[in-house]
Chain A
C-alpha cells in the first residue's frame, strides 16, 4: 500500500505543475457543478407561479402528486442535473489518468519506474490509485458546490433544500465513483497507445457521448432515470470498468512503454 501513496504524492506534485490539468480540474467542475446548476435553479425559481413550462409534460408519473412548481424543480434537480454533473467525474478522472501515464512517457521517466521491483500490474494499479483519489476528491467537492448552488437560492427564495434527494445519494456514492473509475480505465486504455497528452485527452472525450445522450433523453422525456435506473447505470459502469481494465492490462507491454 505504501507504493500507492508514494505514487499518489509524486503524481500530485508533478501534475500540479501541468497547467492543462490544473485548468481542466478547476474549470469543468466550476462550470458543470456550480455555474450551470445555479443558473438553471434561478431560472426555474423565477418561473414559479407562472404558466407551467413544457417540463411538466415530461414529468414522470411518481411526481404528479406535487404542485407544478415543485414538479419543475424536482425534474431539474433529480432528472436533468445528474447527467451534467456526471460529466465532472468522468472528465476529471480521464484528465488525471492521462496526465499520470502520458507525462511519464513525455518526460522520459517511465523507464526509471520499470527499473524498480514493481510488476507491471502493480505499476498500473498504483497509477490508477494515484488518479482515482484526486478524481474522487474533486468530484465530491464539486457535489458540495452543486449542493450550495441548488440549496442556497432555493432556501433564500422558497425556504426549501431539494438537494440531496434519494436519487442524489445513489449518484454520489454509487454512480459517481464508478463514473470516475470509468474515466480512468478508458483513459488508461487510450494512454497505452497515445503519444501525447492532447491525443489522450481528445480520445477520452468520447466518453462524454453516452452522458450527453442520457442528458438529452432526460430533457426530452425519452428516459426518466429513477433510483432503480441509477443503480443499473452504476452496475453497467462497473461491468464496463472491469472490461476496460482487462483490455488495458492486455495492451500494456513493457517493451512498448519505453
Chain B
C-alpha cells in the first residue's frame, strides 16, 4: 500500500507540487491523471526518493520513502521515459546489466524469462537502437520487473504502441495487479486509456490533487448523480425525468438503489424493455471536477 501525505515540492521559488495526498491499496491500479507539466513525473520521483519533498512524506508498504534507501529500491520498479535504455547494448545486455546492479541470483535465467514473456527473445541479441517503439516499451517494462517489485510506477506505458502491443501490455499490467498483488501507479494523460485499466484515480492539475479515490468516490466527491435510464411504458416515479431521446431516467445513489427502484417499478405495473445505469465518463468527470475546482478557487 502506498500512502502519500501532503507532499509538496518546490524548485527555487517555483512550487511544482502542493500538498499532494492519496492512498493506493495493495494490488490496486492507480491512475495519476493530468496534463503534461501537472507534476506527475515529480510525484514519481518523490515517491522513489530521487527528490526530497519540501514538505510531507510517503510510505510504501509501511516503509518511509527516503533518498538512497536500497530497501525501497528493491521494493519499487519504475518505467519512465526519463530513465532510458542503453541503445548501444543488446536487449539481453540491458537486462543483464541491471540484474547485476540488483544482485539478482540466477540473473541470466530471469532475463531470458522476461524476454520470453514480452516476446523479445528473437531480438535479445540486437542492439536496442534497432528496436521499434513497442519493443523498447516492452523492454523497459521488463527491466522494471526484473527484481519482482511489489510497487510499480509506470509512465505512459502504452504511448506509441500499436493496438495489439498496447493490449498485451495492458493485459500484463492487470495480471500483475490481480494475480501477483503488485500495486501500480500509472501516469497518463490519456483518460480513455485509464478508464479501461485503473481501479483508482487521482486527478492532478497544476501540482494539486483535485480529487482521488475509486470511481464511486470520485462520483460522490463530484456530486454527480447516477441515473437509472429506462425504456418502457407505464413507468411512474416521483423523481422521473424524461430524456431527450424519449427515455425515462430516475436519479439513484448506488447499485442497491438501482435494483430496489427497478423492482418497485415492475411491482407497480411498469413494462420495462430496457434498463441501464448512466453516469459521466471518466473524461467528463475529470473535466467536471477540474472546472468546478477552478471556479471555486478565487
Q: Note whether A and B form a binding pair.
A: yes
Q: Is the CB of B82 within 8 A of A6?
A: no
User: B74 contacts which of A3, A9, A111, A117 (Cβ < 8 Å)?
Assistant: A117
Report if A108-B103 is in contact (Cβ < 8 Å); known contacts: A115-B48, A115-B78, A254-B68.
Answer: no
User: A111 contacts which of B82, B88, B103 (Cβ < 8 Å)?
Assistant: B82
CB of A63 closer than 8 Å to a CB of B: no
Q: Is the CB of A113 within 8 A of B101?
A: yes
In B23-58, which residues have CB < 8 Å from any A CB? 45, 48, 50-52
Contact with B along A98-125 (1 / 0, CB 8 A): 0000000001110111111111100000
The CA of A120 and the CA of B68, in the complex, are separated in Å by: 7
Q: Is the CB of B50 within 8 A of A6?
A: no
Q: Is the CB of B70 within 8 A of A10?
A: no
Q: Is the CB of A107 within 8 A of B84?
A: yes
Q: Is the CB of B97 within 8 A of A114?
A: no
Q: Give the nearest-CB partner of A115 in chain B.
A: B78
Q: Is the CB of A117 within 8 A of B83?
A: no
Q: Is the CB of B73 within 8 A of A10?
A: no
Q: Is the CB of A116 within 8 A of B88?
A: no
User: A112 contacts which of B70, B87, B103, B143 (Cβ < 8 Å)?
Assistant: B143
The CA of A123 and the CA of B91, in the complex, are separated in Å by: 22
The CA of A118 and the CA of B73, in the complex, are separated in Å by: 9
CB of A51 closer than 8 Å to a CB of B: no
The CA of A119 and the CA of B52, in the complex, are separated in Å by: 15
CB of B135 closer than 8 Å to a CB of A: no
Q: Is the CB of A116 within 8 A of B83?
A: no
Q: Is the CB of A116 within 8 A of B73?
A: yes
CB distance from B72 to the nearest CB of A (A): 9
CB of B287 closer than 8 Å to a CB of A: no
Please, which residues of chain B bring their CB within 8 A of the CB of A117?
70, 73-74, 101-103
Contact with B along A149-190 (1 / 0, CB 8 A): 000000000000000000000000000000000000000000
Q: Is the CB of A114 within 8 A of B50?
A: yes
User: A14 contacts which of B52, B86, B100, B143 (Cβ < 8 Å)?
Assistant: B86
The CA of A141 and the CA of B201, in the complex, are separated in Å by: 60
Q: Is the CB of A107 within 8 A of B87?
A: yes
CB distance from B139 to the nearest CB of A (A): 12
Q: Is the CB of A109 within 8 A of B84?
A: yes
Report if A14-B89 is in contact (Cβ < 8 Å); known contacts: A3-B101, A115-B83, A254-B68.
Answer: yes
Q: Give the nearest-CB partner of B81 in chain A.
A: A108
Q: Is the CB of B100 within 8 A of A2?
A: yes
CB distance from A111 to the nearest CB of B (A): 4
CB of A13 closer than 8 Å to a CB of B: yes
Please, which residues of chain B bring their CB within 8 A of the CB of A6?
97, 100-101
CB of B269 closer than 8 Å to a CB of A: no
CB of B93 closer than 8 Å to a CB of A: yes
The CA of A117 and the CA of B67, in the complex, are separated in Å by: 11
CB of A144 closer than 8 Å to a CB of B: no
Please, which residues of chain B bring their CB within 8 A of the CB of A258?
45, 50, 82
Q: Give the nearest-CB partner of B80 in chain A.
A: A111
Q: Is the CB of A111 within 8 A of B70?
A: no
The CA of A254 and the CA of B68, in the complex, are separated in Å by: 9
CB of A250 closer than 8 Å to a CB of B: no
Interface centre among A17, A117, A118 (most CB of B within 10 A): A117
Q: Is the CB of B76 within 8 A of A115?
A: yes
The CA of A254 and the CA of B72, in the complex, are separated in Å by: 15
Q: Give the nearest-CB partner of B74 in chain A.
A: A117
Q: Is the CB of B89 within 8 A of A111?
A: no
Please, which residues of chain B bring their CB within 8 A of the CB of A9?
97
Please, which residues of chain B bring their CB within 8 A of the CB of A116?
73, 98, 101-102
CB distance from A18 to the nearest CB of B (A): 9
CB distance from A154 to the nearest CB of B (A): 43
Q: 4 smallest A-B Cβ distances: which pairs? A: A117-B70, A6-B100, A112-B83, A111-B83
The contact sample of 11 A-B pairs, CB cut-off 8 A, is A2-B103, A13-B89, A17-B88, A108-B84, A109-B83, A112-B85, A116-B98, A117-B70, A117-B73, A254-B68, A258-B50
Known A3-B103, A13-B89; 19 more pairs at CB < 8 Å:
A9-B97, A10-B97, A13-B86, A13-B88, A14-B89, A17-B88, A107-B87, A108-B82, A108-B83, A109-B86, A111-B80, A111-B82, A112-B83, A113-B101, A115-B76, A115-B83, A116-B73, A119-B68, A254-B67
| Residues in chain A within 8 A of chain B (CB atoms) | 2-3, 6, 9-10, 13-14, 17, 107-109, 111-120, 254-255, 258
